[in-house]
A = this chain, B = another copy of it.
């Protein structure tokens, strides 16, 4: 089958950036310049012209900008995404006959003075004599014909133009024809800058090739890329010993948390906690009556006098659209959100789509669960282990549409109460097509919403979730502790193709993960791990105050394991009240880190992350910089929690914007010290617990 128009000679291939042939949008931040590349070529030697078309979802028409040839059939162009939401781009390429003609004309004009260049075969065979007269005659004959060809092209282009341009172009065409009629020995260049510009303005696109499909770009706000997260349990936030904390206790802590420099305060689920099968301390299956239970076991409709102070939200009691009565009311919640906003902080909620047995959905929509042959609802299982406090949702439900709509409405419920950041629990246990639809629909309606995936799962699934709309993702960072592990992993997740859709958020601890490095290394380890997290990635988080206080006692290992990554007396099952400013607290260090992050733009993205050699395997060295090195940060971290480590760097000077042999200064933003360094090899010595790292600002001296 022939194509509709076989005259479209231009081929457009290898268009970037794209994911899976346009199946998923690449991710950018508002204000970014999106660099587009492609291979654009055709048969023969004609000049090509290419145009980058782009538009926001709300634009009626395409905007366009010229692409430039970079040689070897590669072309580049770019456009600025100045608005949140979904954009599309594509490429138009065509044979530019006028540009070809203009190039050829230049060569013909040049040949007038060098007639030997003209291969006058025709003349030679028709006429035994050769000589300058005949040859220069051939050169000028070419020009006459070329002028006529050119005039015809300009006329055609004039028909595509309007108004003054059309008039001007017609007169240019007439002038060229006139020139062609006057016999001359020598022609000047008939092409002015003006005529070239006019012709470029009205190209003949009749046989232009358009790349398909249109490629999507999802544009989000700066916080999607650059964010500093602080997790705390509201129920532990009371200053009164033994008292169940409430949302207004969190509100009281906001100034302190904001002063530390965090911009996202993330709360584990604030919904009612199921009564059935509540866990006791240290995940015990035996729970005392006053055990607070796990916030991730969402339920408890019947056990709550509903509502405590009158119906705040009509008909809404228990479940994902409720607040645990011991945490407070919706009024308290609104105050918290507003107070946070006024202090430049956002509240992030934890959305965990699972239900304890007393969740409202169990009675209202049993079809959203798996029903066993005896009529009971299937609880979570990893046979023979049972998790009877959790009923997983059934994404193969006949009423999958109703289920999807309800889950969507949970997000929308909190969005409309002012929440714009969500941390999603175990997204890899909910169907990926659901997330693809839900996150895309939410982002279309609320383009400033951010979703963090707690996707501790296999790489393909983790990346699959990121492609499907999760703005940020937890990573394997907690299990990457050695230099080799860190370098390899961070290179993978900060470079294309992964970086086109995956924004890492590095957590040195979570309520579920107390890594052996921290268990064994104590406070010094907590220091270097948070320095790594805060400088390797533009987004990071800590679970506090456990982190500031360097709590590192693990629970007993569970059956079949020799070690545990669980916290002893985990706050998941108990209230744990602490003073984050206790002696030895890492609050000052963390405050300094956030200050450095906020003051140094290089640390606010990951694309420039580059590792430098340093000849001690316990020392890791890396840098980030802004595009023309206005701000360059160089970090050296001692990964040893116990011993001082020394070593010599072998810096990749190009990546620091420095020249060979150049002297420069490095200002340690943690200690304030300034050193003069030179060239690639410079000495460092770092002591755990005292000075575990340098965070240098590079200062050029010339």
The reply to whether A6 and B404 form a contact with Cβ atoms under 8 Å apart is yes
The reply to whether B464 and A11 form a contact with Cβ atoms under 8 Å apart is yes
Is A600 located at the chain interface by the 8 A CB criterion? no
Is A401 located at the chain interface by the 8 A CB criterion? yes
CA distance A381 to B43 in the complex (A): 15
The reply to whether A72 and B458 form a contact with Cβ atoms under 8 Å apart is yes
The reply to whether A464 and B373 form a contact with Cβ atoms under 8 Å apart is no
Do A121 and B388 form a contact, CB below 8 Å, given A2-B404, A72-B458, A373-B149? yes
Is A229 located at the chain interface by the 8 A CB criterion? no
Is A183 located at the chain interface by the 8 A CB criterion? no
Copies of the protein in its oligomer: 2
Identify which of B8, B121, B139, B396 contacts A9 (C-beta below 8 A). Answer: B396
The reply to whether B433 and A8 form a contact with Cβ atoms under 8 Å apart is yes
Do A118 and B386 form a contact, CB below 8 Å, given A9-B433, A43-B431? yes
Is A168 located at the chain interface by the 8 A CB criterion? no
Mostly, the A contact residues are mixed
- Which residues of the other chain, B, contact A382 by a CB distance below 8 angstroms? 45
Is A540 located at the chain interface by the 8 A CB criterion? no
The reply to whether A207 and B396 form a contact with Cβ atoms under 8 Å apart is yes
Do A148 and B458 form a contact, CB below 8 Å, given A381-B104, A383-B111, A437-B3? no
Rounded to whole Å, the gap between the CB of A439 and the closest CB of chain B is 13
Which of A122, A386, A433 neighbours the largest number of chain B CB atoms within 10 Å of its CB? A433
- Which residues of the other chain, B, contact A2 by a CB distance below 8 angstroms? 401, 404, 437
Identify the closest chain B residue to A13 (Cβ).
B20
Identify the closest chain B residue to A458 (Cβ).
B73
Is A385 located at the chain interface by the 8 A CB criterion? yes
The reply to whether B458 and A401 form a contact with Cβ atoms under 8 Å apart is no
A residues neighboring B (CB under 8 Å): 1-3, 6-9, 11, 13, 20-21, 39, 41-45, 72-73, 95, 104, 107-108, 110-111, 116-122, 124-125, 139, 142, 145, 148-149, 152, 207, 276-277, 285-287, 372-374, 381-389, 392, 395-397, 400-401, 404, 428-434, 437, 458-461, 464, 559
23 A-B residue pairs with CB within 8 Å: A6-B395, A7-B396, A7-B397, A9-B432, A41-B460, A41-B461, A41-B464, A44-B392, A73-B460, A95-B396, A108-B383, A111-B383, A117-B559, A119-B386, A119-B387, A121-B285, A121-B388, A124-B286, A125-B286, A125-B287, A139-B384, A148-B374, A149-B372
Given contact pairs A41-B458, A107-B383, enumerate 7 new A-B contacts (beta carbons under 8 Å).
A7-B396, A43-B429, A43-B432, A44-B428, A110-B384, A121-B387, A145-B374
